[in-house]
């Protein structure tokens, strides 16, 4: 059974600090996705990582993928309050044509002044 584990599940940060969210998964996969969810809202796609060593950056967020270690990281640089949200990683563990994603439980990030 494919498992996707995120840690930490809760993260309280001060503005201006750096931190990393980790996403481990239990089977081989070449595709990994990061999503953001604001309270009461739907999920917004942040990054799609399609190969080993892939790195993508958008603003203060940078995501990377190591398929050999089955690990993705979401690094937050100089956090600001607007980044407060829940972040999910997801893995395409089935391949084929279904595109079924397995989601982690999410990391709830709170950035405090």
Partner 1 sequence: SQTIHQWPATLVQPVGSPLSLECTVEGTSNPNLYWYRQAAGRGLQLLFYSVGIGQISSEVPQNLSASRPQDRQFILSSKKLLLSDSGFYLCAWASTLYEQYFGPGTRLTVT
- Interacting residues toward partner 1 by CB under 8 A: 31, 33, 35, 40-45, 48, 50, 88, 90, 92, 97-101, 103-106
User: CB 78 → partner 1: shortest distance, Å?
Assistant: 27
Query: Dihedral of the CA atoms 24, 28, 30, 34 (nearest 10)?
Result: -20
| Tokens, residue 7 | 């840690």
Nearer to partner 1, 18 or 45 (CB): 45
Nearer to partner 1, 22 or 80 (CB): 22
Q: Which of 108, 107, 90 is nearest to 2 (CA)?
A: 90
């Amino acid at each position: 059974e494919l498992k996707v584990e995120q840690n930490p599940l809760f993260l309280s940060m001060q503005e201006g600090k750096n931190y990393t969210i980790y996403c481990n998964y239990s089977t081989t996969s070449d595709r990994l996705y990061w999503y953001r969810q604001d309270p009461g809202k739907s999920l917004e796609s942040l990054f799609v990582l399609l190969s080993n060593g892939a790195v993508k950056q958008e603003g203060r967020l940078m995501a990377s993928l190591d398929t050999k270690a089955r690990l993705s990281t979401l690094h937050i640089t100089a956090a600001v309050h607007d980044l407060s949200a829940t972040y999910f990683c997801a893995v395409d563990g089935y391949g084929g044509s279904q595109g079924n994603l397995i989601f982690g439980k999410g990391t709830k990030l709170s950035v405090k002044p």
